[in-house]
Structure 1
Amino acid sequence: MLDDNLKAQLKSYLERVTKPFEITASLDDSKGAVEMRGLLEDIIALSDKITLKTDGTDARKPSFSLNRIGSDMSLRFAAIPMGHEFTSLVLALLWTGGHPPKVEPGVIESIQALDGDFNFEVYMSLSCHNCPDVVQALTLMSVFNPKIKTVIIDGALYQDEVNAREIMAVPSIYLNGSHFGSGRMTVEEIVTKLDTGAGDKDAARLSAKEAFDVLVVGGGPAGAAAAVYAARKGIRTGIAAERFGGQVNDTMAIENFISVLETDGPKFAMGLDAHVKAYGVDVMNLQRGDKLIPAATPGGLVEVQLANGGSLKSKTVIVTTGARWRNVNVPGEQEYKNKGVAYCPHCDGPLFKGKRVAVIGGGNSGVEAAIDLAGLVAHVTLIEFGDTLRADAVLVKKLHSLPNVTVHVSAQTTELTGDGNKLNGLTYTDRTSGQSQHIELEGCFVQIGLVPNTEWLKGTLELSKHGEIIVDNRGQTSVPGVFAAGDATTVPFKQIIIAAGDGAKAALGAFDHLIRSAPAAVAA
């Protein structure tokens, strides 16, 4: 099952296992069971602390559980965790075997403090780059709290379950039989959602922090670069991020960040996080800005009020809140989101294997999505409002070469239709003839660009007509001491490398502002 290179890597990892445990497999005669048995036999051959039993009686076959000797932990994989999930498997083996996770001690304490019966089922796909965060979070929770039981299910392997529950987006999480959440979630987010008092405690903890010299709000490439450049000046730096890595987490392939030949979004985001933490930056995750209050006097403190009720103060603030997927804003979009309406073809595409889907948007992202999906689904219909596709010529040529793709230009999407439970079609108006057309389908991927995350700044900072923060050539906004960088600003060309450079520039601008202010402005 594993090639020699993977076996060598896995063997080196498994040398860190200190506590014996067993793997119990529930198998049948399927092809998946044969592959699973091969994988598990490869694993136990690499460590004398892991044993394999194949007499499991779980109803989901094939599947396997990890069981630490003398422990009541409950963790099951109804999946053959390769692809994006191979790392999740490795971590599950290490944590079950006693190797400590690389998380803050407070996170483990919060997991262990959870009281109740928590039976999680998480549906994922092996091509989903958002899924590993959720899989690894629930794995960690199951290892450290015996009251938390987790089953990780490959939607492609258990298509009947996916259809029965009408799951059309992954990761999709169920708790005690009821839907708990969809999309990327960190362990902190899940714990906070389970612990109803966590928000108030977190708000009080944040409000008690002393003022920063530079506070970055937003954790994408611009925010990470700003934090690193500020911290390197030896000043007190904090970064408050709703989701560290931002939109980068949803990017499949990155091939144009100079000096990095090729990587993927989640891996790039992990690198940003590691670089920031290497400089001792105070990283505050799961924090969303709610209101910006300018300094009352020159050289005073700027306040950022957070959505959880907490508050942070700083001598300067750099806003790097980035952007999010733009909605098509037609009837049915919100009703059928995650019920056929999706935004990430890499994550959710496998759920539509053999089905009919549409892609709205004829730019690079839309055409790339249509090309990718054409290899999985029965048919792709691409809908573009303009009279021509806006993607690069090489992508357009590839698109038109595919036999199961239909392209409609000068087409305005007017409605996404459904039966009340899931999407069943798309209605558009032919802008040339004025006639309305309806397409029957099971999925629709919206790929029409981004909208800046700046609603919370309206009335405080000067924004463009598109909602972007207006900045000068140093990143300074209309409010003294408040800077901005990246996709949330008027800086043209929304690219990762540009956002990173923009963040560095804003940090240098903020530092220059500090040293030109009152002598006491920079912390000792």
Structure 2
Amino acid sequence: MLDSNIKTQLKAYLEKLQQPIELVAALDSRPAATDMRQLLNDITELSDKVSLRENGSAALQPSFAIGRPGETARISFAGIPMGHEFTSLVLALLQTGGHPPKVDAAVIEQIKALPGKFHFETFISLSCHNCPDVVQALNLMAVLNPGISHTMIDGALFQDEVERRKIMAVPTVFLNGEEFGAGRMSIEEIIAKLDTGAATRAAEQIASKEVFDVLVVGGGPAGASAAIYAARKGIRTGLLAERFGGQVMDTVGIENFISVKATEGPKLVAGLEEHVKEYPVDVMNLQRATQLIPGDLIEIKLENGASVKSKSVILATGARWREMNVPGEKEYRGKGVAYCPHCDGPLFKGKRVAVIGGGNSGVEAAIDLAGIVGHVTLLEFDGQLRADAVLQKKLHSLPNVTVITKALSTEVTGNGEKVNGLVYKDRNTDEMKRIELEGIFVQIGLLPNTDWLKGAVDLSNRGEIEIDAKGQTSVPGVFAAGDCTTVPYKQIIIAMGAGATASLSAFDHLIRSSAAD
């Protein structure tokens, strides 16, 4: 099951085990069970601290659990955790065996203090790059708190279960049999949903903070860069983020980050977070800004009721997926309407889907999906596709893809539980047409996260923050950087440079302001 290189690496990891662990397998007669047995045998052969026994009592088979001998295992994998989930398996082995996690001590104590019984189930696809964060967070919580257990379920392997629970997006998490959440969630977000007093405590803590010299709003590449540059100047620096990493967390392959031949969004974000933590930056994660009030001290109000004041502010709130804004889209989001073909594509195996958008993202999505689903219909508003020629050539070579141009999507239809079609207007004839399908993947670009800034700073007609060459906005002391601004090209490397520019400009503003005083 595992090749020699992976075995060598895994053996080195398993040498870090501090306590014996036991793998408990529940294997049926399916081919996947044979592969799972081989995987588990490979693991046990690599360490004398790992044992294996079979127990056919699990509800989902094939599956296996990881625990300590003599104790009820609290981590289970219903499916073979390879691909993106292999790291989840390795961490589960290490953490169950006593290897300390790389999590803040305060978070660990908060997990240990959670009262009650919590059984989580996470439906994933092995190609999903968002799923491992959720799986790893819940596995760690199960290790730390005896009242918590967690099962990862591979949706592709357990299609009947996916259909029964009407799951059409991953990751989807159930808690004690009821849907708990969908999409990427950090361990802090999960804890906040369980610990009802966490938000109030966070608001009180934030409200008591002293005035910052520079306050960065946004935790993506631009925000991280700005915070690092500010902290290196030795000034009091804060960073507010609704989700550290921002849109990059949802990016699969990154091949144009100079000096790094190839990486993935979550890996890059982990590096950004580690770098930021090297400096005395006060990071306030999971905080949504709702209002900016200009003044000698600039005030940022938060959704939780708290507010923060700073002598200067850098806005780096990034962008989000653009929606079609048609009837039925919101009602069927996660029920057939999706925005990540890599994550949710495997759930539509053999089915009919549509891709909305003929740019590079849309065409790449259609190409990827064509290898999984039964048929792809790509709809483009313009009279021709806008993707690179090489992508268009590949797209047109695929037998199970139909391209429709001059198509205006007007409605998502469904049966109340899931998507069953898409209505569009043929812009050549003004005729309304309907396609029967089970999934719709929206790939029509990004919108800046600037709604909360309307009336506070000047915005372009696209909602982007207007800035000059130094990152200065229309408000003195307020700077901006990254995808939320009028910068012409939305690229990670450009956002990082813009964050540095805005930070240096903010520092220059502080120097000139203090000199004037």
Per the shorter chain, which TM-score range?
over 0.9
Q: Judge conservation of contact 1:224–1:503 (CA < 8 Å) in 2.
A: yes
**2:230 counterpart of 1:230:** yes
The residue that corresponds to 1:45 in the other structure is 45
- Structure 1 stretches of 4+ moved >2 Å: 69-73
Residue 279 of structure 1, CA deviation: 2.0
RMSD: 1.2
Structure 2 CA distance for aligned equivalents of residues 501 and 402 of structure 1: 39
The Cα offsets for residues 306-352 of structure 1, whole Å up to 9 and x where unpaired, read as: 11222222211101000000110111101100000000000000000
Superposition map of 1:4-153 within 5 A: 4-69=4-69, 71-72=71-72, 74-153=74-153
- TM-score computed with the length of structure 2 as normaliser: 0.98
Structure 2 CA distance for aligned equivalents of residues 109 and 304 of structure 1: 30
**2:419 counterpart of 1:420:** no
Structure 1 CA distance for aligned equivalents of residues 283 and 446 of structure 2: 26
SS of alignment partner, residue 37 of structure 1 = helix
The residue that corresponds to 1:444 in the other structure is 440
Question: Is there any run of 5+ residues in structure 1 with no aligned partner, and where?
Answer: none
Q: 1:491 aligns with which of 487, 492, 506?
A: 487
**2:467 counterpart of 1:471:** yes
Greater mean alpha carbon deviation, residues 67-76 or residues 246-255: 67-76
SS of alignment partner, residue 300 of structure 2 = strand
Letter in 2 for 1:449: G
Superposition map of 1:234-273 within 5 A: 234-273=234-273
The residue that corresponds to 1:408 in the other structure is 404
Structure 1 CA distance for aligned equivalents of residues 75 and 264 of structure 2: 28
The Cα offsets for residues 460-499 of structure 1, whole Å up to 9 and x where unpaired, read as: 1111111111111111111111110001011111111111
Greater mean alpha carbon deviation, residues 340-349 or residues 490-499: 490-499
Q: Judge conservation of contact 1:36–1:80 (CA < 8 Å) in 2.
A: yes
Residue 56 of structure 1, CA deviation: 3.8
Residue 69 of structure 1, CA deviation: 3.5
The Cα offsets for residues 384-424 of structure 1, whole Å up to 9 and x where unpaired, read as: 00001011111111111111000000011111100010000
Residue 435 of structure 1, CA deviation: 1.1
Structure 1 CA distance for aligned equivalents of residues 515 and 119 of structure 2: 57
**2:179 counterpart of 1:179:** yes
The 1:368/1:483 distance shift into structure 2, 3 A limit, reads: same
Greater mean alpha carbon deviation, residues 54-63 or residues 158-167: 54-63
The residue that corresponds to 2:300 in the other structure is 304
Q: How many residues align?
A: 517
The 1:520/1:306 distance shift into structure 2, 3 A limit, reads: farther
Residue 177 of structure 1, CA deviation: 0.9
The residue that corresponds to 2:349 in the other structure is 353
Structure 2 CA distance for aligned equivalents of residues 157 and 309 of structure 1: 45
Q: Percent identity?
A: 67
**2:383 counterpart of 1:395:** no
Greater mean alpha carbon deviation, residues 257-266 or residues 50-59: 50-59
Q: Judge conservation of contact 2:218–2:239 (CA < 8 Å) in 1.
A: yes
Q: Judge conservation of contact 1:85–1:126 (CA < 8 Å) in 2.
A: yes
Residue 280 of structure 1, CA deviation: 2.9
Letter in 1 for 2:471: G
SS of alignment partner, residue 436 of structure 1 = strand
Structure 1 CA distance for aligned equivalents of residues 14 and 149 of structure 2: 24
The residue that corresponds to 1:460 in the other structure is 456
Structure 2 CA distance for aligned equivalents of residues 422 and 369 of structure 1: 21
Letter in 1 for 2:132: P
SS of alignment partner, residue 498 of structure 2 = helix
The residue that corresponds to 1:512 in the other structure is 508
Letter in 2 for 1:228: I
The residue that corresponds to 1:318 in the other structure is 314
Residue 70 of structure 1, CA deviation: 5.4
SS of alignment partner, residue 16 of structure 1 = coil
SS of alignment partner, residue 483 of structure 2 = helix
The Cα offsets for residues 338-395 of structure 1, whole Å up to 9 and x where unpaired, read as: 0000000000000001100000000110000000000100100000000010111111
Q: Judge conservation of contact 1:27–1:63 (CA < 8 Å) in 2.
A: yes
